[in-house]
Amino acid sequence: MDYSRFAHLYDSCVNFDADLPFFVEECLAVSGSVLELMAGTGRVTAELVKCGLRPTCVDSSRDMLARLANKTTAESRHIVCADVRNLPFSHAFSIAILPFNSFCELVSEEARHTALNSVRAALAPRGRFICTLHNPAFRLKSVTPQPHVVTRFPSPSGCGEVLVSVASEYDADRGVVSGTQTFTTIHDGEVVDEISVPVEFCLPSQAWFAEAARANGFTVEALFGDYDRSEYNPESSPYFIWCLKEGAA
Ligand X SMILES: C[S@@+](CC[C@H](N)C(=O)[O-])C[C@H]1O[C@@H](n2cnc3c(N)ncnc32)[C@H](O)[C@@H]1O
Nearest approach, Cβ of residue 248 and ligand X (Å): 26
Given candidates 44, 116, 133, 166, which one binds ligand X under the rule CB under 6 A?
Answer: 44
Which one of 72-80, 97-105, 155-163, 238-246 is the stretch in contact with ligand X (CB under 6 A)? 97-105
Instruction: State which residue, 43 or 245, has the beta carbon closest to ligand X.
Output: 43
- Which of residues 22, 23, 34, 43 is near ligand X by CB under 6 A? 43
- Judged by CB under 6 A, does residue 122 bind ligand X? no
Q: How far apart are CA 88 and CA 30, in angstroms?
A: 22
User: Under a CB-based contact definition with an 8 Å cutoff, are residues 99 and 19 in contact?
Assistant: yes
Q: Which is nearer to ligand X, 104 or 213 (CB)?
A: 104
Q: Is 3 in the site for ligand X (CB under 6 A)?
A: yes
The dihedrals phi and psi of 179, each to the nearest 5 degrees, come to: 175, -150
Looking at the Cβ atoms of 78 and 85, the one nearer to ligand X is: 85
Catalog residues that contact ligand X under the rule CB under 6 A.
3, 14, 38-40, 43-44, 59-61, 64, 83-85, 99-100, 102, 105
